[in-house]
Structure 1
Amino acid sequence: MLGVTTHRNNVGGPQVRRLTSVARIAIPLAGALVLSACSATGQDSSDSLQVVANPVAAKPAASPARTAPPAGQVIAMPGVSAIATDAQSHTLVVALGQPPSVRVYDLGALGSPKATVALPGPAESLTASGGEAIASVPGKGVLTRISLPGGQAKAEPVAGQPAEGVPDGANTLVAVRDRKAVEVLAGGKVTKTITGQLYSADGVVKTDSGAVVLDRLRTAVFSVDVQAGTMDEGLRAGDGAANAVADSFGRVLVTDARAGALLAFSTGPLILRQRYPVPGGPYGLAYDHRRNLAWVTLTGRNEVVGFDVRGGEPVEKYRFPTVRQPDSVGVDEQSGRVIVGSAAGEGTQVIQP
């Protein structure tokens, strides 16, 4: 659906803005989500959400050789797989692929790590808050909890491939990829398993109205009622949903790596509000709640872009050259610094906008 779409400005009243392509593709749970004619891969060949017959999760676009030096400071380290920051402990947490480990840095003194934590395998995702980081190691079926800033670690086994773990009060929500589920952990034990209509559970975002799970295979997002233990409405998320974060306005932002876009979904109910074109292979995504900036890495251009998302559509505020293959990004909300990790071994980059 192209043209003029009426939607609500998150800092004021309703506005009318011309968006590039805004679609509301709600999936009725009793209708299109019923999997009847399954292909050899186990997916529904007639599913209105399925992009191709045999779906493959979106990957970051391969980066070309750099044409400009990276902005800011670059900290030498091998290939980075994930980045997170924790305001309470004032730390930067970086996951490395080889050797599989997590480095903990003081955000005020980034010269050398305060601690290095060995992992049983490469971490796919990192989340950090309240003095703790959670590293997800799907290849080994493990969540590793790391106390910050000291670096004491505790491994928690998870049945299947835990793709991401996020705090939810005293509990932890875990997206378990191969089991197509969101599990609720309390004290390291599973208290609830939520399933339904997923092809793959690749990420989970906590919002004020519940949670949203990212399905990269189906390139879709689904609303999760954690208290009721149900998987609720789902929406198509572009042609190659890659990463998702919550913003300050009750929305979930998603990068579309294949179609080149930044999507914004309101929650409760789940509705696609914006689809903003972002050429260059958008992939990594982080959000600065203090400044309402969404930071998006462009792996096809070796760039990171900062968008102000307070209004009816994103507004570009910053654009910087990065290290090669900038697959991951984080934000130090106290200073506003954006931190970019190179999956190609060019280090971690720290930029002060």
Structure 2
Amino acid sequence: MRRAALLLPLALVLTACSGSDGGGEPTESARAAEPADSPELTTDPEGTVVDLDPDAEGMVFDPVTGLLAVAVRDPNRLVLTDADGVTQAEIELPGHARHLQLAAPGGPVLVPAEDSNTLVQVALPGGEVTETMVGDNPHDAAQVASGQILVGDEMGGTLSVVTDGEVTQTFDSQTQPGGVATVGDVAGVVDVGAFSITTYDVAAGELQTVLDAGDGPTHLVADSQGRFLVADTRGDAMLVYGSDPLELESTYELFGNPYGLAYDSTDQVVWVTLTATNEVVGLSTAGDELTEVARFPTVRQPNTVAVDPTTGRVFVGSRETGQLQLIDPR
């Protein structure tokens, strides 16, 4: 269904089973990993910090329109700002979101509205909305080369394939799907309940390969070399997987509970937020192995990061304060 956007110009977690007696709570190592509870700041954040909105979590920057999309709450909205953090429009959402992606440069923004079981597609720059009912608690979504969208339904343990605004296929091969990223028609999905990564040929409707993915993976992005970069949040590492075939190529130790990810395709740098230390780290993906090229102090509770591949500007959102941080590393 389509509905008009509200434009304001300015200007429970499922857990993996532990033990064999079926009783008691799962141990910490058996639960899906979460960002650390960030400590109080001891260093001023790098760059510029502007006030945004409560519970800012989930961001993506569109280089075509120059708009940053940020999911906020109370009430649930998608806030569109310019590259300086000045709000341009706000779009009502049917539920809260924690992760955003672009279907393609120029949009739309893919917004999994978790507590409404809805995938919301928000056109840019106008904010027109298309809603599709998917599975239980959609957490992340990404579009493959064929134009189909794969949605990870975290609480339902399913993946919904959305074609032209309708669910056309459902995979039930996941325990608790988390992050989703794509290389061509292949989607990589992190199962945060099973601590694994799975690839799917979405256009063919086929599951390909399942591999272990560390001690507590959460999110992933794809790089310019067609690899999947996975944040092992509990294991304090970044895992690099080749996608064809799926295989673990390298492990990069990264202390601080790595969580939020954004990829700069121009500089070939993946930006990673460290929620235990209030930092964001830039890792070059140009070689066979990751190498650190930048590190900056951030706002508190930096669960979310985005990047403008044209200018290199990095955006960090604070779930704790609702602030937006702007960093210019180039």
The TM-score, its normalising length taken from structure 1, stands at: 0.82
Structure 2 equivalent of residue 351 of structure 1? 327
Structure 1 equivalent of residue 95 of structure 2? 121
Cα distance change on mapping 1:53 and 1:111 into 2, 3 Å: closer
Instruction: From 329, 336, 345, give the equivalent of 2:312.
Output: 336
SS at match of 1:81: coil
Structure 2 equivalent of residue 204 of structure 1? 180
Q: Look up the equivalent residue of 1:308 and give its one-letter code.
A: S
Structure 1 residue 99 displacement after superposition: 2.1
Mapped pair 1:174 → 2:148: no
Cα distance change on mapping 1:305 and 1:42 into 2, 3 Å: closer
Q: Look up the equivalent residue of 1:204 and give its one-letter code.
A: V
Structure 1 residue 281 displacement after superposition: 1.6
Structure 2 equivalent of residue 261 of structure 1? 237
Cα distance change on mapping 1:127 and 1:53 into 2, 3 Å: closer
Structure 1 residue 180 displacement after superposition: 2.1
Structure 1 residue 140 displacement after superposition: 1.0
**In terms of mean alpha carbon deviation, does 57-66 or 151-160 score higher?**
151-160
Instruction: From 23, 34, 57, give the equivalent of 2:32.
Output: 57
Q: Look up the equivalent residue of 1:185 and give its one-letter code.
A: V
- Aligned sequence identity (%): 37
Q: CA RMSD in A?
A: 2.0
**Structure 2: how far apart are the matches of 1:131 and 1:143?**
14
Structure 1 residue 52 displacement after superposition: 6.5
**Structure 2: how far apart are the matches of 1:147 and 1:350?**
24
Structure 1 residue 84 displacement after superposition: 0.4
Cα distance change on mapping 1:219 and 1:111 into 2, 3 Å: closer
- What 5-or-longer segments of structure 2 have no aligned partner? 1-14, 21-25
Structure 1 equivalent of residue 9 of structure 2? none
**Structure 2: how far apart are the matches of 1:195 and 1:346?**
35
Structure 2 equivalent of residue 301 of structure 1? 277
**In terms of mean alpha carbon deviation, does 91-100 or 240-249 score higher?**
91-100
**Structure 2: how far apart are the matches of 1:288 and 1:135?**
21
Structure 1 residue 157 displacement after superposition: 1.7
The 5 A counterparts of 1:88-103 are 88-103=64-79
Cα distance change on mapping 1:66 and 1:123 into 2, 3 Å: same
SS at match of 1:139: helix
Mapped pair 1:145 → 2:116: no
Q: Look up the equivalent residue of 1:121 and give its one-letter code.
A: G
Instruction: From 148, 157, 163, give the equivalent of 1:186.
Output: 163
Structure 1 residue 80 displacement after superposition: 1.0
State whether residues 285 and 329 of structure 1, in contact with CA within 8 Å, keep that contact through their aligned partners in structure 2. yes
Q: Which structure has the bigger radius of gyration?
A: 1
**Structure 2: how far apart are the matches of 1:103 and 1:346?**
12
**In terms of mean alpha carbon deviation, does 119-128 or 261-270 score higher?**
119-128
State whether residues 185 and 202 of structure 2, in contact with CA within 8 Å, keep that contact through their aligned partners in structure 1. no
Cα distance change on mapping 1:42 and 1:330 into 2, 3 Å: closer
Q: Look up the equivalent residue of 2:169 and give its one-letter code.
A: K
Mapped pair 1:231 → 2:207: yes
**Structure 1: how far apart are the matches of 2:241 and 2:222?**
9
Structure 1 residue 86 displacement after superposition: 1.1
State whether residues 264 and 275 of structure 1, in contact with CA within 8 Å, keep that contact through their aligned partners in structure 2. yes
- What 5-or-longer segments of structure 1 have no aligned partner? 1-40
| 1:177-233 deviations in Å (ceiling 9; x for gaps) | 23322222112111122232x211222211136111111111110011223322221
Mapped pair 1:106 → 2:82: yes
| 1:296-348 deviations in Å (ceiling 9; x for gaps) | 11111111010112123211111111000000001100100111010101401
Structure 1 residue 62 displacement after superposition: 1.1
State whether residues 85 and 324 of structure 2, in contact with CA within 8 Å, keep that contact through their aligned partners in structure 1. no
SS at match of 2:305: strand
Cα distance change on mapping 1:146 and 1:241 into 2, 3 Å: same
State whether residues 324 and 346 of structure 1, in contact with CA within 8 Å, keep that contact through their aligned partners in structure 2. no
Instruction: From 228, 240, 251, give the equivalent of 2:227.
Output: 251
Instruction: From 147, 172, 176, give the equivalent of 1:195.
Output: 172
Cα distance change on mapping 1:208 and 1:155 into 2, 3 Å: closer
Structure 1 residue 111 displacement after superposition: 4.9
Structure 1 residue 55 displacement after superposition: 2.9
Structure 2 equivalent of residue 9 of structure 1? none
**Structure 1: how far apart are the matches of 2:268 and 2:302?**
21
State whether residues 18 and 27 of structure 2, in contact with CA within 8 Å, keep that contact through their aligned partners in structure 1. no
SS at match of 2:49: strand
